[in-house]
Amino acid sequence: MSQDSIFREYYSQPTFIDRLEQYDDEGIDVIIPVINTNELWERNLHSFYREIPINRLLIGDGGCTDETIKIVEQFPRVEIIDQSEYETQGYCIKELIEHVETEIFVYLHADVFLPEGWFDEMYQYRDDLDWYECYRRHTVLAEYPNERQNNATRAYSGSQMGRKETFDKFIDDIDDDFLQRNEDIVFAELVKEHGEYDRIDDTFHYHQVMERQDPESSFGEDEPQITSVSIEKESAPEWERKVAEMQWKGIVRYTSPKPYLINTVEGSIVQLMKIGAFDEDEFTSFVQEENPQWEDHINIQKLYIRSKIRSSTQTVKDNAWGALKMIYDRL
């Protein structure tokens, strides 16, 4: 990690800084809707107060069952608004905005940490724009079993234990040549030839996926940096149905069709088709009643084909893609 590692900031003990005490102008209202938060919630709040001259922190409590409200109540100028009976985050935000009393306000998510200088950079655009945002950097902190590696035949190093006597049978044959990021495989195979190897399931280790402090030291040259992380979640059809359905309905009802919005709606419909939860008649009726300008922008037949392709095995995809693509292109 570099000296300014965000993870070091996450888990340091901060000194509370209240920007409002140092700010010459009026403060700014901040709104945050919450339904439970993560373990960095308190640390994130410290970053909010350090960066923003908070006039009032308006918290929309959507029904928290953890320590979220107890933690935020330790901070100054907090107002809690009970939103536990509402169904959607959008309506919660609407009500929070109605409670705002300052000309400029800030809307934050609970799982956001603000870096130093955030407010000063953002505030300078207040006279030029009516609503604006900044770019994001993801930090991934998630514990999960790597089932692919756990079920693989090959060895994966990280925490291993063994008998030196077995290694003595072949260790002299190891040269300083090609054992780099494959030593776990080779050692396991050599042990199998001279002794007993297995994987136990009584315990585990935590394996960290992070940038190195000095990437050059790992292999004599700069190690590539992480550019993205793919997250897969457990299958939860009812949750997926509700999320996908609300997504397409919200976009169709409140917006005019644009290419990126059309893609988003199509993605939600394909997701519903994959889990067998798409109702074409309901979709048609909804569009006609809520926003008819969307009628000619969604090709349901194409989306059915897309859903079949995405849910097929790789073998089926390879065998059927040519025929399906011909049909798809003609629609």
Asked whether residue 26 is domain-assigned, the answer is: yes
Average pLDDT taken over every residue of the chain: 90
Rounded to an integer, the average pLDDT of 310-328 is: 58
Query: CA-to-CA distance for 212 and 321, rounded, in angstroms?
Result: 41
The answer, yes or no, to whether residue 154 has pLDDT greater than 50, is yes
Cβ neighbourhood burial of 83 (10 Å; 0-12, 13-18, 19+): buried
Question: What's the total number of domains in the chain?
Answer: 3
Of the ranges 112-126, 130-144, 297-311, which one carries the lowest mean pLDDT score?
A: 297-311
Asked whether residue 18 is domain-assigned, the answer is: yes
Q: Taking the model in full, what pTM does it have?
A: 0.84
DSSP structure class, residue 226: P
Q: Do residues 158 and 188 make contact, with C-beta atoms less than 8 angstroms apart? A: no
Ordered DSSP codes for 51-111: HS-EEEEEEEES---SSHHHHHTTSTTEEEEE-TT-S-HHHHHHHHHHH--SSSEEE--TT
Asked whether residue 221 is domain-assigned, the answer is: no
Same domain, yes or no: 104 and 14: yes
pLDDT at position 325: 59
228-259 confidence digits (pLDDT tens)? 888 888 889 999 999 999 999 999 999 999 99
Of the ranges 56-70, 84-98, 133-147, 211-225, which one carries the lowest mean pLDDT score?
A: 211-225
Ordered DSSP codes for 115-126: PTTHHHHHHTTT
Q: How confident is the model at residue 167 (pLDDT cuts 50, 70, 90)?
A: very high
Of the ranges 94-103, 266-275, 304-313, which one carries the lowest mean pLDDT score?
A: 304-313
Question: Can you give the residue range of the structural domain that contains 306?
Answer: 237-330
Domain end among 205, 221, 253? 205
